[in-house]
Amino acid sequence: MDDRSPRRPAADATRRTFLAFLGGLGASAPVLAKALAGGQDGGGAPMVENIRAAEVLSGLEFTDGERQLMAEGVAELRDQYRALRQVDVANSVAPALRFDPLLPGMELDAERPPVSPRPSVEPAVEIDPDDEESLAFAPVHRLAPLVASGAVSSERLTRLYLDRLEGLGPKLECVITLTADRALEQAKSADAEIRAGRYRGPLHGIPWGAKDLLSVAGYPTTWGARPFRDQRIDHTAAVVRRLDDAGAVLVAKLTLGALAWGDVWFGGMTRNPWNLEQGSSGSSAGSASATAAGLVGFAIGSETWGSIVSPSTRCGTTGLRPTFGRVSRDGAMALSWSMDKLGPICRSVEDCALVFDAIRGVNPGETDATVVDRPFAWDPKREFRALRVGYVKADFEGDPTEGAENEEQATAMREGRGFDLAVLETLRTMGIELVPMELPDLPFSALSFILSAEAAAAFDDLTRSGRDDELVRQVAQAWPNVFRQARTIPAVEYVQANRVRTLVMEQMAQRLEGLDAYVSSSFSPNLLLTNLTGNPAVVVPSGFRADGTPTSITFGGNLYGEEKVLLLAMAYQHATGYHLKHPGLA
C-alpha cells in the first residue's frame, strides 16, 4: 500500500514550470515567437530571465547583451529537445559514445589460454548429502562434485532451494518471481545429461537466482520498481543464456532496490539474514540476501556504484565486480552505460571464479558493444605469496572518525577501522609484504554526476511522464529527485567530467604499476574511483561485529586482472574462514 500523500496542485504547477524552464515540455510556435523577441517562454518568464537563472545553476555569468544573443538559439535548442522526445528510445538502446577502460598505449599481459578451475584447495568443508541445511549453505565448488557424481541430484537441490525460497523468501522480502516450472525442467534435464555422461562443468545442475534487472523471456522483469511491475521483455539476457549453457538452474528472480538503488522495492524492504531489523543494503539486495540465507547456490548482481560491494558487506557474501566490459549487459536494465557491470555474488571466492568464467566474454549477436574477450587464467593452486600487494594508505591511517555526525557513528567508524587493520595484520602473517599506495590526486568524487546524468537519460520518459511518483522512495536521496536534479547538468560539464575521468584513469594506472592487487576499505573513496575507472574488485567477509553482523574488506587490482585479485582474496578467506559462517534462520 502506498501511504504517500498525493501531489498537491501547487506542486504540480511548480513541477511544470521547472520542466518547462529546462526544456522539458517545449513550447508552442506562438510562444516560441515571443521568446525569440525576448518575450515569454513556456514557463511564463522572459527567455533572458530564464537564461539568467540557468547561469546560477551552472556557475556562469553572461552580460545582458550576451543573453539577448542567446535567446533565439536557446529556444531553438528547446525545440530540438522536443523533436527528439517524439522518438521512442527503449532503455536497451545505448548512446553512440562508448566508455573503454583501456587507455591508449596501455599494454596487457600476453594472452594465455584460460585455465580450467582445478579442485578446491580450501580446508575441507564437510557437506552431509543427507542434511538439507548442510546442502543449502554449501558453496558451489563443494556442491558440484556431489551433483556430478549423482550423490545429490539437481532436481533434489532445486526443490530444496524452491522450498526455502517459498518459506523464507517472504520473511526476507528477497524474491520477486519464482521460476519454478523453468527450474524443474532444467533440473530434470541436467540430471538426465549427467547420467548420460554429458557433464557440462561445475555449474551443471546448480540452482541460482537473478537480480530482477535481467530479462528472462516468459517472466516479468520489474526492475524492482512499481511503474514496471508488470513489464515483460521477450528476450533472455546474455548472462542468463550463458548460465543456461553451463547447465545452471534458474530458480528465482530476486529483488533489487527500485531502479537499482538501495534495498527498498515495490514490495517492501529486503532484509539482512543476520539481522532482520536491517535492510540488506543494495541495490543487489535480493541477490546477497538469498545467497547468504541459503536460498540459492549463487546469484548474479550488478554494480554501478557499490551495488555488489554494499549488500555483500551487509549480508556476509563474497562478491566479484569484474572489470568494466568483461560481462555482457545485453538484456540488463541500463542505468549508466559507462559504469554498469554485472558480476556474481556467492558464498566463496572460488565460487565467484567459477561463475565469472561461465559468464564472461563476447557472445555473437549481442547488443552490448562494450564487451571484450580477455583471458582468465584462474589457477587456485598458484603461489599467492608471489603477488605484489599494495594497500590504500589513507584507508588505514589517520582519524577514522573524521566526518562522523555523532558519537554513535564515530564508534562504528572506529570499530570498522579495527577490522580493516586486522586484515592487514592477517595478510602480513600470511607472508605477504604490503606496499603503501595513494589514490589519484584529483577531485574524482566530483565526477559522481556522470552517473546522475546517464541515469536521468536512461529514465527520461519516467520523469517527463510523471510516473516517477509511483516509485516508493520519494526523498532527496532517491531516483525521482536525482533524475530531476540531473536536468540541470550542462552537457559541457558532463563532457568535461569525462575528460577529467581520463586523467583519473591515467593516474590510477600509474598508482597500480608494479602491483598485482591491493587492499582497501570497502567504503572508502576507492569505491567510486574504481567504478569510474572500471577496475575490478572482490569483497569478502572480514569478521563479525558485537551484534553478530558481518564486516568486509575489498581487494582490487588492474584492469582484466581478476585472477590475481581472486587469488589474494581466496588466500585471505582460507586463512580466516569467515565466509564459512552462515546466519541462523528459523
pLDDT single digits (tens) 416-433: 999 999 999 999 999 999
Q: pLDDT at position 585, please?
A: 85
Domains along the chain?
A: 8-87 (no CATH), 133-443+495-580 (3.90.1300.10)
Instruction: Give the whole-angstrom CA distance, residue 267 versus residue 524.
Output: 31
Q: What is the pLDDT of residues 313-343, one digit of tens each?
A: 999 999 999 999 999 999 999 999 999 999 9
pLDDT band at residue 270 under the 50/70/90 scheme: very high
% pLDDT > 70, the chain: 89
- Among the ranges 66-75, 106-115, 507-516, which has the highest mean pLDDT value? 507-516
Q: Residue 244: which residues within 8 A CB-CB, separation 6 or more?
A: 186, 236, 250
When the pLDDT of each residue in the chain is averaged and rounded to a whole number, the result is 90
Which ranges of 196-297 would DSSP assign to H, the alpha helix?
Answer: 238-245, 285-292
Q: Average pLDDT in the 90-94 region?
A: 88
Q: pLDDT at position 7, please?
A: 36
pLDDT band at residue 66 under the 50/70/90 scheme: confident
**Which cell is 214 given?**
535481467
Task: Please report the beta strands in 445-575, taking only residues with DSSP state E, as ranges in sequence order.
Answer: 517-520, 537-544, 550-557
Asked whether the predicted pLDDT for residue 301 surpasses 50, the reply is: yes
Instruction: Give the whole-angstrom CA distance, residue 327 versus residue 359.
Output: 6
Peptide bond between residue 542 and the one before it cis (omega within 30 degrees of 0)? no
Q: pLDDT at position 17, please?
A: 41
Contact 397, 364 (CB under 8 A): no
- Give the per-residue SS3 of 359-372: HECCCCCCCCCCCC
Q: Average pLDDT in the 108-125 region?
A: 55
Q: Which helix (H) or strand (E) is 272 found in, with range?
A: strand 271-272
Greater confidence (60 vs 435) lies with 435
Q: pLDDT at position 239, please?
A: 98
pLDDT band at residue 106 under the 50/70/90 scheme: confident
Instruction: Give the whole-angstrom CA distance, residue 51 versus residue 36.
Output: 13
Task: Please report the beta strands in 109-240, taking only residues with DSSP state E, as ranges in sequence order.
Answer: 175-178, 207-211
Contact 299, 288 (CB under 8 A): yes
The Cα-based distances of 426 to 412, 546, 569 in angstroms read 21, 20, 12
**Which cell is 118 given?**
582445478
pLDDT band at residue 80 under the 50/70/90 scheme: confident
pLDDT band at residue 31 under the 50/70/90 scheme: very low
pLDDT band at residue 459 under the 50/70/90 scheme: very high
Q: Burial code of 385-423, b = ≥16 C-beta within 10 A, e = fewer?
A: eebebbbbebbbeeebeeeeeeeeebeebeebbebbeeb
Q: Average pLDDT in the 114-137 region?
A: 73
Greater confidence (25 vs 378) lies with 378
Q: pLDDT at position 586, please?
A: 58
Q: pLDDT at position 105, please?
A: 85
The count of other CB atoms within 10 Å of the CB of residue 377 is 14
Burial of 235 (0-12, 13-18, 19+ CB in 10 A): middle
Q: What is the pLDDT of residues 470-507, one digit of tens each?
A: 999 999 999 999 999 999 899 999 999 999 999 999 99
Asked whether the predicted pLDDT for residue 214 surpasses 70, the reply is: yes
Greater confidence (14 vs 469) lies with 469
Residue type, 85: R
98-112, 453-467, 488-502: least confidently modelled range: 98-112
Q: Burial code of 116-139, b = ≥16 C-beta within 10 A, e = fewer?
A: ebeebebeeeebeeeeeeebbbbb
**Which cell is 579 given?**
565466509
CA dihedral 83, 88, 89, 90 (to 10 degrees): 160
Asked whether the predicted pLDDT for residue 453 surpasses 50, the reply is: yes
Instruction: Give the whole-angstrom CA distance, residue 287 versus residue 285.
Output: 6
Catalytic residues: 211, 283, 307
Contact 425, 470 (CB under 8 A): no
120-124, 210-214, 225-229: least confidently modelled range: 120-124
Q: pLDDT at position 166, please?
A: 98
Q: 264-265 and 389-392: which strand pairing?
A: unpaired
pLDDT band at residue 45 under the 50/70/90 scheme: low
Q: What is the pLDDT of residues 152-183, one digit of tens each?
A: 999 999 999 999 999 999 999 999 999 999 99
Q: Which helix (H) or strand (E) is 513 found in, with range?
A: none
pLDDT band at residue 211 under the 50/70/90 scheme: very high
Greater confidence (81 vs 517) lies with 517
% pLDDT > 90, the chain: 76
Q: Residue 21: which residues within 8 A CB-CB, separation 6 or more?
A: 41, 42, 43, 45, 50, 53, 54
Q: Residue 135: which residues within 8 A CB-CB, separation 6 or more?
A: 127, 128, 129, 143, 152, 157, 160
Residue type, 63: T
Q: pLDDT at position 121, please?
A: 57
